[in-house]
Copies of this chain bind each other. A is one copy, B any other.
C-alpha cells in the first residue's frame, strides 16, 4: 500500500455517493439490506481508487479493510517461490474483496484496470455483519457463487486445452458484456478485454505466447474478430462455445 493515493477526483465523480444510488446496489453485499441497514453502511463506508497494476493487498499481509468492487477489475493471484503465478479469481463490479474473519490474505489482490472500491474497516464491518442477517445471507450466497466459479476454473485448468481455455474465457466475457446491455453475445459491438496478455496467461495457466497464438488462431478460424489487441467481437457465439469444449453455457460468477 505504498503507492499514490491521490483520489483522482474528476473521473470518480461524486466520490461519496449515496448507497441508494449506487450502481451495484442490487448485486453487491448490500443486496438484501433494508433502507435502515443501508444507512448504517452508508455511514461507515469510504471509497478508495487504485491505478492499473497497483497492489491492493499482498499475500500474507494483514488487511484492515474489505469491501466491494464498484468500478474496474481486480485479480487475485497466488505465486510459487520461483515466480510462477496463478490468478485464482477475477473480481468485477459488485464482487466482494477481502474475507470476513480471515485477517490475512492468502493471495495478492492487484488492480488490473483503474479500480474504485467501496470499503469498510474490518472491525466496523464485522460488527455490523453480526447484527445484520441480510448481510450474512448475501455473503454466504456470494461465497457459494465464488466456490462454483473456482470449481469451474479447476476443470478448465486441469483438463482443457489452450484453445479451449481461451475460448471459455472469451465466452464468459462476451456473455458478461452482453448481459450488461441486454443483448445476445453475438450482436453487440464487441467488448474490451480488460487484461494484458500476461494477466490472461496468469488466469488461464498458460504463457503469454500461447495466449497470443491461440487468440490469433481463433481469429483466423473466424470465431472472433479483433479491432485491436484488446477489442474483440464475437460474430458467432455458438461457435465460440463449441471451441470452449463445454457441454452447456460456461458457468461463472453472475
Contact = CB atoms under 8 A, between A and B. Distances in A.
A154 to B, nearest CB: 5
Interface string A231-254: 000000000000001110001000
State the copy count for this chain: 2
Interface in A61-102: 76, 78, 80-82, 84-86, 88-89, 99-102
B158 A102 contact: no
Interface stretch (A13-21, A50-58, A137-145, A219-227): A137-145
Contacts of A154: 78, 86, 88, 150, 153-154, 157
Nearest to A203: B158
Interface size of A as a range: 35 or more
Interface in A149-205: 150-155, 157-160, 204-205
A1 to B, nearest CB: 21
Contacts of A140: 100, 136, 139-140, 143
